[in-house]
Amino acid sequence: MQRVMIVGQPGSGKSTLARNLGQRTGLPVVHIDTIHWQPGWVERSWDEKTHLCREVESLDRWIFEGGHSATWNHRMARADLLIWIDRSATLRFWRVLLRTLLHRGQRRPDLPDNCPELLANLPEFFKFMWQTRKSARAKMNQLVATAPPTCRVVCLRSNRDTRIFLASVGNSTGQALRD
């Protein structure tokens, strides 16, 4: 395992899994939010995000979590492991609310500097999550369905699945769940 692609909708646990997996493997972790946002919640241009994603994807080793789906096919072609965290909308909304409250006024580890969690942003973000809940899931399902044979696929649908997967990374065989 040298290049790991993690996808999932907001609040699914991508960042947490990426950090845990990075600690276990020593692979460098890249969070899409550090590419998407600049300090002060300034969004990068589409071209700039694409360029930065391509730079990461060209490296030999990485755990890359998150979106910018315009680069998914290229990223997946380079990845040797694709992880899709597919969790319920109810759980994801709860997790986003909880993380916003827990980190209110502070920067989460997966965000750039000067991007504190703000309660004021929550209604707009919830609206985005609601509007994209079906289309984003369908896009990820399609991504998984088109994974090349050189890319192992793992789908995590519960905390138990995630614990089993992480435990498998530490064992001698390195086998993971295959969806």
Domain-located, residue 141: yes
Domain-located, residue 54: yes
Domain-located, residue 175: no
Pure H helices in the chain: 14-25, 32-36, 46-57, 72-78, 89-102, 122-145, 159-170
pLDDT tens string 125-161: 999 999 999 999 999 999 999 999 999 999 999 999 9
In Å, how far are 14, 50, 75, 144, 178 from 67, measured between CA atoms? 10, 11, 11, 14, 22
- Give, as one character, the DSSP assignment of residue 13: S
Domain-located, residue 177: no
Q: Which domain holds residue 103?
A: 3-170
Domain-located, residue 145: yes
pLDDT tens string 75-122: 999 999 999 999 999 999 999 999 999 989 898 888 999 999 888 889
User: In 3-state terms, what secondary structure has residue 97?
Assistant: helix
CATH number at residue 62: 3.40.50.300
8: left (phi over 0), alpha (psi -120 to 50) or beta: left
| Number of domain units in the chain | 1
Domain-located, residue 84: yes
What does the pLDDT read at residue 175? 38
Domain-located, residue 14: yes
What does the pLDDT read at residue 68? 86
Q: pTM of this prediction?
A: 0.90
Domain-located, residue 117: yes
User: In 3-state terms, what secondary structure has residue 117?
Assistant: strand
With a cut of 80, say whether residue 25 has pLDDT above it. yes
Q: Are 89 and 47 in contact (CB under 8 A)?
A: no
Contacts of 89 (CB under 8 A, 6+ apart): 9, 129, 130, 133
